[in-house]
């Protein structure tokens, strides 16, 4: 495949955009080479500016769960845009999607829409602090909750890829209120609570991690966090920006049968447009302005285009609950096929999967947290990524990212991917 036009566009972008990209992982620094500039997409495929068709395994990092250019979403966007794109005033759409989301997700009474997953997580932590009158939070090394200062303490994904997990610009005062624990390590969380029995406002966690590859919670881990929060009067925040409406209609809370006090959402809820949200019980949400003293606002929050796209997407998911089982089976087909083909080689490997999230790690050590994810052989990953790209398959350009499958993928797409996978790993 040729990428001459992508290369030309990237050089032009570098002149006016830091690093030539508007989100760091797109820059290909973790894998080398030139980022691919996309021209259009449809279903399970991306079409780049050089005329190449790529099978898409990132789904815009999650939101395109039903595939690109999904007709009900495009129709809703078109009809809404004709009426106006932003008002800074309430619309009926906001109430409609709020009612639908509260019906779909368990354990929540009210929801507030914002503009991104970062904003949702930032607001959730502020609300937790305002509700508990405490300042400290516990997060897990390798989990990424957006680029708010409180979260860039050993963050995952792009922060790890670029070797700057503690970002310059984050003050020591902010950092001291973020307490770190290894993912899947309940004993360490217990020890932190014992050190700060009355100081912790909340735990924030990706219930299924997706920013150090896909890492599922071990048995009893989330249940143990729930019990510790109850014991010490802290809140449990599930960052469901990736898992919400992807693992199940009710997200990780439904799939894993563990209740959070606050949950944050993004990705799927916007149907491909920039949107985020956070939800909680009436008791907690009543502390939020204008009803309570915890301030949060946004001129574009509840933007009609985002609300229309999200409403169309969630209605489609609500109308076809069998989609989740179908997508799980496609991901299982990919997993088992990869396992079969790589098992006969001498390559070190671990394959993690949960629902429609999956990742390949080039290590013999089970990947259960950030430290074990970081043991993966990045030279193997680079060669693997570019090998698959030459075969017409677009994977996350970082070893610290989960794949996200979409329902438009066919079994033929997956079988082609597996044939390509076999060819590529034989060359590693």
Q: Which residues are catalytic?
A: 144, 239, 267
Alpha-carbon radius of gyration of the chain: 21
Taking the C-alpha atoms of residue 92 and residue 182, their distance in angstroms, rounded to an integer, is 43
Taking the C-alpha atoms of residue 238 and residue 208, their distance in angstroms, rounded to an integer, is 9
Which token pair is 174? 């902010």
Which token pair is 10? 């990237």
Q: In what order do the strands lie in the sheet with 235-239?
A: 110-114, 276-280, 262-265, 235-239, 200-205, 136-140, 178-181
- N- to C-terminal Cα distance for the chain? 19
244, β-bridge pairs: 248
Beta strands at 110-114 and 53-56: parallel, antiparallel or unpaired: unpaired
Could you tell me which residues come within 8 angstroms of residue 114 by beta carbon, excluding any fewer than 6 positions away?
A: 120, 123, 275, 276, 277, 278, 296, 298, 301
CB 300 within 8 A of CB 86: yes
Residue indicated by tokens 């507030």: 112
């Amino acid at each position: 495949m040729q990428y001459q036009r992508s290369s030309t566009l990237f050089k032009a972008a570098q002149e006016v955009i830091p690093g030539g990209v508007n989100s760091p992982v797109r820059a290909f620094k973790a894998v080398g080479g030139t980022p691919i500039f996309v021209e259009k997409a449809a279903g399970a495929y991306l079409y780049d500016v050089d005329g190449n068709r790529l099978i898409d395994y990132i789904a815009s990092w999650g939101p395109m769960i039903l595939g690109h250019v999904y007709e009900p979403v495009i129709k809703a966007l078109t009809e809404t845009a004709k009426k106006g794109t932003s008002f800074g005033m309430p619309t009926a759409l906001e109430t409609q999607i709020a009612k639908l989301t509260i019906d779909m997700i368990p354990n929540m009474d009210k929801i507030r829409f914002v503009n991104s997953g970062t904003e949702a997580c930032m607001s959730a932590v502020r609300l937790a602090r305002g509700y508990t009158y405490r300042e400290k939070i516990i997060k897990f090394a390798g989990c990424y909750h957006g680029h708010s200062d409180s979260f860039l303490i050993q963050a995952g994904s792009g922060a790890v890829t670029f070797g700057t997990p503690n970002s310059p610009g984050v003050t020591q005062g902010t950092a001291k209120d973020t307490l770190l624990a290894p993912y899947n390590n309940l004993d360490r969380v217990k020890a932190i609570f014992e050190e700060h029995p009355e100081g912790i406002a909340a735990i924030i966690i990706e219930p299924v991690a997706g920013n150090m590859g896909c890492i599922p919670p071990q048995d009893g881990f989330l249940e143990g966090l729930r019990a510790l929060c109850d014991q010490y009067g802290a809140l449990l925040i599930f960052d469901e920006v990736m898992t919400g409406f992807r693992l199940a209609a009710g997200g990780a809370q439904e799939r894993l049968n563990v209740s959070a006090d606050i949950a944050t959402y993004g990705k799927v809820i916007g149907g491909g447009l920039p949107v985020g949200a956070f939800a909680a019980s009436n008791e907690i949400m009543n502390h939020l302005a204008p009803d309570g003293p915890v301030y949060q606002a946004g001129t574009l929050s509840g933007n009609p285009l985002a609300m229309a796209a999200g409403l169309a997407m969630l209605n489609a998911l609500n109308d076809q609950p069998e989609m989740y089982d179908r997508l799980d089976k496609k991901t299982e087909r990919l997993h088992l096929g990869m396992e079969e083909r790589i098992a006969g080689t001498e390559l070190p490997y671990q394959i993690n999967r949960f629902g429609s999230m999956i990742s390949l790690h080039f290590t013999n050590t089970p990947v259960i947290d950030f430290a074990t994810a970081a043991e993966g052989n990045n030279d193997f990953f680079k060669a693997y990524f570019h090998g698959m790209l030459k075969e017409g398959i677009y994977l996350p350009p970082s070893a610290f990212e989960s794949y996200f499958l979409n329902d438009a993928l066919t079994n033929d797409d997956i079988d082609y991917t597996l044939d390509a996978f076999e060819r590529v790993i034989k060359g590693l």
